[in-house]
Structure 1
Amino acid sequence: MNNHKKSFSIRDLENLSGIKAHTIRIWEKRYNLLSPERTRTNIRSYSVTSLQKLLNVTLLYNGGYKISKIAKIPEKNIPLLVREIIADSKSKNHSISAFKLAMINFDQSLFTKTYNGLLTDRSFGEIFRDIFIPLLKELGMLWQTDTISAAHEHFISCLIKQKIVINTEKLQHIEPVNKDKIFVPFLPENEIHDIGLLYLNYEIVLRGYKSIYLGQTVPMENLVDTMKYFDNLHFVSYLTVVPTKDKINGYIKDFATMTKGYTNPNLWLLGRQTQHIVEKTLPDFVKIFTSMDQVIERL
């Protein structure tokens, strides 16, 4: 069954394009750029094709084209002009718009072309922090408001994950040079949101540390095995959904019990759920970070 979203409200179009609903209505009336269907109560409803066209028009408009000129361009030529702009422009806003267009169209080649264009004058780390993080935050809000479907979010998230993994793999053939710490990035059991953790793993490896990446949904008892082989382990976890508010302090207490016989335990935590941690009861070996940048600075 195809569960992709097939119709969009004018508010959806505003959220995705950044163009105010009032302006969209003017463009419809004055330039006939979009032709929405209407419900019995006269509420506008837009197809995927209309959304795609608006995103293309927005890219041209933000690229310096006047809306009156865009309205005169043959419809089949608009995507070609958009790709030219994407190829020539390295701006943050253009790139985010291009990635959103790639997401809506499930267009991997557009994603890759936009990404490769950014690589000409940015490092991967700069692309992730300056482009991907704002994009992911925006897409999270769009998904929560039902503007985009889960399929769209998964598509773009998986492409970003691929880039993190590829760039991490390029570094992994180099022997670690920093021996004072060994990192164990992991997510607690039932936590599957791993983009942040994947990127932290990239930064760890980039800085010459050994990383034992365990990934998603790791039962706590499985962490014991790593402690049998290495001293001075630093466990790192990104808590987005679990442990839940009522369980997170118990989780840390259980972790302290598990590592009681270990010489030098360290647990670094960040993510939304850390706001529920009672810091005055924290063991000394637990460090809470409010942002990814804080963790990177500590490495």
Structure 2
Amino acid sequence: MSTFSIRDLEHLSGIKAHTIRIWEQRYELIKPKRTETNIRYYDDRDLKLILNVALLKENGVKISKIAEMTEGEMQREVLKLTERNLHHPEQIHALTISMVDLDEERFEKIISTNILKLGFEKTMMNVIYPFLSKIGILWQTGAINPAQEHFISNLVRQKLIVAIDGQYSVASDKAKKYVLFLPEGELHELSLLFADYIIKSRKNKTIFLGQSLPFIDLEAVYDVHQPDYLLAVLTTVPGPREVQAYVDRLSKHFPDSTILLTGYQVIGQDLETPENVEIFTRLEQLITFVEENSFTLA
């Protein structure tokens, strides 16, 4: 079972720690546990409760009325809201609860409903990516455990692969060619998979090389395919001390291609970007770039 501080509850729910303490005292809405050294902490059940409270309150239910609800009544009201309300914060709250519960059925229902209403790409941009960003921070700070993070990441990965398979078509000989890869040691591939979807859905060619690609193998693929673009996501590697050298190496070894980079290790860093290197800080920039540089019959 995971344990949470009151600050973790604040970050997950958006409710200020001061407000949570007031609710504890006034309504006995949530009761913290204490360690042997008298430090307050909360468990999975407390987290689900505060997420449900936050969702109901955001939809106009008064806290006094929420405090009178049983746990079952609260859950039923939340389910009604998430099934009819496609506002993004509500969906992200619901996904967070499904993550805490390791509830695949609920996750599937939320995502399928959003895809039906919004389409796959908007669901990724407006619901799944903000949610993944949120849990990524919580995982790094220890607020959620690796099993919960892996559970959600693998479900999202499955959705991406199905969506990519659905984009298969014979591209024109004039279509742009992209090689997509992660540097050696890099394993976080969800953003790369979504980039593959974006590029293919605009009728371009992709060569998807995936995780942890040694540089020598990238050179071999490049020699065969001579792509227009190389796209990489640098989330954890190379580190701050090595990233400039890696960017320069890409530029030097592949001078006839445009190098497209994104990820934590390049965004907001004081890097010198060679002429054939572009850094994207947001997914929307990648989408715009791909659309502006795609071949069209018009």
Scaled by the length of structure 1, what TM-score is found? 0.88
Gap runs ≥5 in structure 2: 291-298
> Could you tell me whether the CA contact under 8 Å between 2:258 and 2:277 is conserved in 1?
yes
Q: Which SS does the other structure have where 1:187 is aligned?
A: strand
| Alpha-carbon contact 1:240-1:273 (below 8 Å) kept | yes
Report the AA paired with residue 290 of structure 1.
T
The answer (yes or no) to whether the contact 2:180–2:192 under 8 Å persists in 1 is: yes
Q: Which residue in the other structure is 1:278 paired with?
A: 272
Structure 1: 5+ residue stretches without partners: none
* Percentage of matched positions with identical amino acids: 37
Q: Please, which of 192, 197, 201 is the counterpart of residue 202 of structure 1?
A: 197
The answer on whether the counterparts of 2:182 and 2:189 sit within 8 Å (CA) in structure 1 is yes
Does structure 1 retain, via aligned residues, the 8 Å contact 2:179–2:227? no
Separation in 1, partners of 2:145, 2:124: 23
Offset of residue 240 of structure 1? 1.4
Q: In 2, distance between residues paired with 1:130 and 1:25? A: 31
Q: Distance in 2 between matches of 1:41 and 1:257?
A: 57
CA contact under 8 A between 2:175 and 2:203: conserved in structure 1?
no
Closer, same or farther: CA 82–181 of 1 in aligned 2, 3 Å: same
What pairs with 1:71-82 in structure 2 (closer than 5 Å)?
Answer: 71-82=67-78
Q: CA deviation at 1:35?
A: 2.3
Relative distance call for 1:255 and 1:50 in structure 2 (3 A) is closer
Q: What is the aligned partner in structure 2 of residue 152 from structure 1?
A: 148
Give per-residue Cα distances to partners, 1:96-131, cap 9 Å, x unaligned. Answer: 101111111111111111112212321211111112
TM norm structure 2:
0.88
C-alpha distance after superposition, 1:166-187 (max 9, x if no partner): 1111111x21237242111001
Q: Is 1:236 aligned with 2:227?
A: no
Equivalences, count: 288
Picking from 281, 288, 292, the partner of 1:290 is: 281
CA root-mean-square deviation: 2.1
Paired residues for 1:165-180 under 5 Å? 165-172=161-168, 174-177=169-172, 179-180=174-175
Structure 1 Cα separation of the partners of residues 47 and 280 of structure 2: 39
Q: Does 1:58 align with 2:54?
A: yes
Amino acid at match of 1:270: T
CA contact (8 A) 1:269 1:289 kept: yes
State the SS of the aligned residue for 2:68: coil
Post-superposition offset of 1:156:
1.7
Secondary structure of the residue aligned to 2:182 is strand
Q: Distance in 1 between matches of 2:136 and 2:228?
A: 33
